[in-house]
């Protein structure tokens, strides 16, 4: 049996987990496995390829709009990779 102090500490941890990662908290509460990050990785690689393709196409075809979209998309992929590895 847990002591009163241990129960309050456990409740604090539960509340913190519920606030920081509600999907994981729900998965643990329901007894199911959390979603795989592999699917996110596949989407990220596809987005990388699309961003590079846009950038190269924008540089080959003299269209500043396509180049700008490629730069913005590539910036988004870099930001996503950095944010993903900080977790």
Rounded Cα–Cα distance for residues 3 and 23 (Å): 29
Contact 48, 78 (CB under 8 A): no
pTM of the model: 0.54
- Tokens representing residue 86 in the block: 């900080």
Convert the pLDDT of each residue in 23-47 to its tens digit: 777 877 887 766 666 777 888 889 8
Quick: pLDDT tens for 8-23. 888 888 888 888 888 7
* Residue 6 in this model has a pLDDT that exceeds 70: yes
> Domain-by-domain residue ranges, the chain?
1-34, 36-87
Per-residue burial over 46-75, b = 16 or more CB atoms within 10 Å of its CB, e = otherwise: eebeebeebbeebeeeeeeebbebbeebbe
7, pLDDT greater than 60: yes
Q: Tell me the two tokens of residue 36.
A: 């795989």
Whether the per-residue pLDDT at 87 is higher than 60: the answer is no
What pLDDT, on a 0 to 100 scale, did the predictor assign at position 35?
Answer: 62
């Amino acid at each position: 049996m847990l002591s009163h102090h241990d129960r309050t500490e456990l409740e604090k941890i539960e509340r913190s987990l519920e606030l920081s990662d509600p999907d994981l908290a729900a998965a643990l509460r329901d007894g199911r496995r959390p979603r795989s990050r592999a699917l996110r990785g596949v989407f990220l690689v596809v987005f990388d390829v699309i961003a590079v393709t846009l950038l190269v196409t924008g540089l080959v075809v003299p269209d500043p709009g396509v180049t700008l979209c490629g730069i913005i998309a590539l910036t988004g992929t870099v930001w996503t990779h950095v944010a993903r590895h900080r977790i």
